[in-house]
């Protein structure tokens, strides 16, 4: 089945830890995106990549990092510099503007 797979579904982070969220797609899409969603809010863009080995900051990139070494993969690292990381993280991919989403990772700081 073609689609976007995010893992894990739930993730718990201790204060001061870095954690990495996985995103893999087999849709052969060039562009991939990471969004953050807080309760009752829309989606805010963290990072995006339109081609392998290239990525751009979105609106809220501080405290996050990404890599795009393969077309299929776009992992997101939430660093200790992100002071309020508890949120729902969504990965998406697209060919045009129409974005297809993974199932999301819910990150909680404990």
Partner 1 sequence: QKEVEQNSGPLSVPEGAIASLNCTYSDRGSQSFFWYRQYSGKSPELIMFIYSNGDKEDGRFTAQLNKASQYVSLLIRDSQPSDSATYLCAGGAARQLTFGSGTQLTVLP
Q: Which two tokens mark 33?
A: 């995106």
Tell me the window of 19-27, 61-69, 70-78, 94-102 that interacts with partner 1 (CB under 8 A): 94-102
Q: Say whether residue 1 binds partner 1 (CB under 8 A).
A: no
Please say whether the beta carbons of 34 and 74 come within 8 A: yes
Q: Say whether residue 94 binds partner 1 (CB under 8 A).
A: yes
- Smaller CB distance to partner 1: residue 18 or 30? 30
Rounded distance, CA 52 to CA 30, Å?
8
Q: Say whether residue 102 binds partner 1 (CB under 8 A).
A: yes
Please say whether the beta carbons of 102 and 91 come within 8 A: yes
Q: Say whether residue 104 binds partner 1 (CB under 8 A).
A: yes
For partner 1, the binding residues in 6-65 under the rule CB under 8 A are 31, 33, 35, 40-45, 48, 50
- Smaller CB distance to partner 1: residue 33 or 74? 33
Cα 108 to the center of its chain, rounded Å: 15
Q: Which two tokens mark 16?
A: 């001061």
List the alpha helices (DSSP H) in 1-110: none
Q: Which residues bind partner 1 (CB under 8 A)?
A: 31, 33, 35, 40-45, 48, 50, 90, 94, 96-104
């Amino acid at each position: 089945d073609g689609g976007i797979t995010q893992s894990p579904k739930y993730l718990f982070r201790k204060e001061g830890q870095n954690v990495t969220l996985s995103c893999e797609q087999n849709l052969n899409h060039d562009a991939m995106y990471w969004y953050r969603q807080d309760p009752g809010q829309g989606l805010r863009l963290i990072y995006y990549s339109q081609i392998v080995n290239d990525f751009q900051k979105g609106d809220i990139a501080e405290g996050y990092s990404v890599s795009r070494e393969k077309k299929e993969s776009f992992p997101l690292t939430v660093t200790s510099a992100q002071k309020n990381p508890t949120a729902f993280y969504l990965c998406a991919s697209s060919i045009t503007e129409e974005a297809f989403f993974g199932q999301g990772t819910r990150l909680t700081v404990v």
